[in-house]
Structure 1
């Protein structure tokens, strides 16, 4: 049942987004939607982080070639691609912030599901998840600072972003780590962690529904911008696939590991950075729309990835 839920999660999220837009257009009770959103976000982040094997981070380094390719791709090459796209399209202010927040952080949850469905190596994906999560927490503030420069200082963004980052990301992560540590010694907690493994997909569907419903007016007002943003996200997915294929060849990775690498470079941690954007003042509100748009494009892109990645990264003859 859980595997079936994860298999069809793409369509569940898409239905949730479009239903949220429809419902939000009809019942414009933004405050009510936003009020329901924050508890769900907190539970979602906590439940998801408990599924990341934080206590077994050393397992990721058993395959050094794979981890080297993964780190190089996610934290050096793809940030350069993001910087190039942002410069090419002349992004500024809230739109630039949204693009940076969502494209600089590799996914640590549904990329595992897509890796499994796309004939990759799920075990390596699971082992890599805590490394990806911890590195992005350390590097995201640095990358945003470097790429936004004066816009970051001029908009007083740093003083607003850091407290939100610590409260909305670091706190649930620490709670999840304590839960996992307790679960290693308590059968009750261990069972609780297993039950929470069912929660991320339905909770994320509920979250994207509420976000779409609460932000529908802003989405409508930003529709001229959305096409440009959509092009950026499509170009990102194409670049991720090609770079993943290239790194697979350069590092001489096994086929399944190469596919895992492609899915990691292509999927982003949109729901993790979404609370950061939502917590910021209204001047940065467009960043929320950008992140929601990226989620939509990525979900559609993953449908294409599932069909194409096994052909792009083939078994040797």
Structure 2
């Protein structure tokens, strides 16, 4: 009988990190196949999106030393730069791109809803995977949620008219903030406080090992639950795919520019790029689903953006560390 060498947790974590991009692409590909072959699985999987994402964010927050958040919160320069990037520059980009679908109210509503709102959840995960300052994005997330709740009606009115604003319900913003930010954050803080105990140390070590598998699970659940709906309306949705790709490329460039102009360190510049590109699609989706039946394409537009963005994020995890270096 051959004795196998013990496998340490550090080696497992290193293996996952080394192969993470291939694992993410494989998860997305498998989810596409499963979602198309068994479209009835979409409903059950859709109910798992928020719980799985909350678990992923809990694992992410565990890697953030909360004793440093006080200093992060006082970094007003970084906060100003993220606000400039997401609420001044991004709306200008969105207005220009949205003119290509301005003739169709459902497509226009979907594009505006998803592109006008910066991400406050899995952007921190991808930023952390790319060596970015995810703690700074965490500190900025409450401000992001508040500002987008206040400005979204204004931007919708300016770009789509009062008819669209009147049918959008904003309650899901608050629900998503509690479920995806407050609860995972609170659980992570309690775990860090208990880290002196054996149970706390086990949870912290386990969360680090689970980061890549949890991201794989999140990608698989989101894609498999939505791909059938997008596939059924692919002909009508093809027009928005180039817009989402163009948005990601333009915001990538603007994020690089803002980071250089601000003179930030490498981690902050990477965080700015991810913040500019990533949108709040999983929070916006309930708003789109609550729209009238005449706008039934709007939720599928949001889902299409999610699928495009996931591929962009997986690519950025590999590209950004090579492009933004000390």
Per the normalisation by structure 1, the TM-score is: 0.75
Match of 2:283 in 1: 273
Match of 2:272 in 1: 261
CA 1:276/1:178 → structure 2, altered by over 3 Å: closer, same or farther? same
CA 1:178/1:8 → structure 2, altered by over 3 Å: closer, same or farther? same
CA 1:255/1:54 → structure 2, altered by over 3 Å: closer, same or farther? closer
* Contact 2:85 2:255 (8 Å CA) reproduced: yes
Q: CA deviation at 1:48?
A: 0.6
Matched, 1:24 2:24: no
Matched, 1:252 2:260: no
CA 1:197/1:85 → structure 2, altered by over 3 Å: closer, same or farther? farther
Match of 1:44 in 2: 53
Q: How does 1:80-159 map to 2 (within 5 A)?
A: 80-90=92-102, 93-103=105-115, 104-106=117-119, 107-114=123-130, 116=131, 122=132, 125-149=133-157, 150-154=162-166, 156-158=167-169
Q: CA deviation at 1:229?
A: 1.5
Superposed CA deviations along residues 88-113 of structure 1, whole A, max 9, x for unmatched, are 54275443444344432132221221
Q: CA deviation at 1:194?
A: 4.8
Q: RMSD of the alignment, in Å?
A: 3.5
Q: 2:224 and 2:52 mapped to 1: Cα distance?
A: 19
* Contact 1:145 1:152 (8 Å CA) reproduced: no
Q: How does 1:156-167 map to 2 (within 5 A)?
A: 156-158=167-169, 161-162=170-171, 164-167=172-175
Equivalent position SS for 2:193: coil
Q: What is the aligned residue count?
A: 300
Equivalent position SS for 1:51: helix
Matched, 1:79 2:100: no
* Contact 1:244 1:261 (8 Å CA) reproduced: yes
Matched, 1:35 2:44: yes
Equivalent position SS for 1:219: helix
CA 1:253/1:299 → structure 2, altered by over 3 Å: closer, same or farther? same
**Which residues of structure 2 form unaligned runs of 5+?**
1-11
Q: 1:17 and 1:285 mapped to 2: Cα distance?
A: 25
CA 1:201/1:37 → structure 2, altered by over 3 Å: closer, same or farther? farther
Q: 2:272 and 2:287 mapped to 1: Cα distance?
A: 27
CA 1:210/1:308 → structure 2, altered by over 3 Å: closer, same or farther? closer
CA 1:285/1:194 → structure 2, altered by over 3 Å: closer, same or farther? farther
CA 1:62/1:166 → structure 2, altered by over 3 Å: closer, same or farther? closer
* Contact 2:31 2:221 (8 Å CA) reproduced: yes
Per the normalisation by structure 2, the TM-score is: 0.74
Superposed CA deviations along residues 106-125 of structure 1, whole A, max 9, x for unmatched, are 322212212x2xxxxx3xx1
